[in-house]
Amino acid sequence: MGAEVKTTCPYCGVGCGVIAKVDDTGTVTVKGDPEHPANFGRLCSKGSALAETIDLDGRCSILKSRTERQAGMRRSISSPAGFPRPLPNMAPIPSPSMSRVSF
């Protein structure tokens, strides 16, 4: 552990150079690569926060659904039941825009 890995930031199309490192406790740190021609070591706020996206703490890990559009209470649902349910609750999409919808 402790080795630095040179990679690129995944957020936008610039492809800024990033150096990621995992220490002996498993903590990940990220910094800009000063030798990379796209950013010369500088990172934007998203690139600087890359290490915060590594773990699952704070992420939604359970599908939730509400029966009415304005209802505030949501209930947990299982994955197989969860994917078909949102479709009937979606607002109508004008026909010419239908080809622009993706999941």
pLDDT tens digits, one per residue of 22-81: 988 888 899 999 999 999 999 999 999 999 888 777 777 777 776 666 666 777 766 655
Q: Which pLDDT score is estimated for 29? A: 93
Q: Which pLDDT score is estimated for 75? A: 72
Domain edges within the chain: 4-53
Which is more confidently placed, 15 or 59?
Answer: 15
- Smallest Cα–Cα separation from 77: which of 59, 61, 58? 61
Contacts 24+ apart (CB under 8 A), 76-82: none
Question: Taking the model in full, what pTM does it have?
Answer: 0.57
CATH number for the domain whose boundaries are 4-53: 3.30.200.210
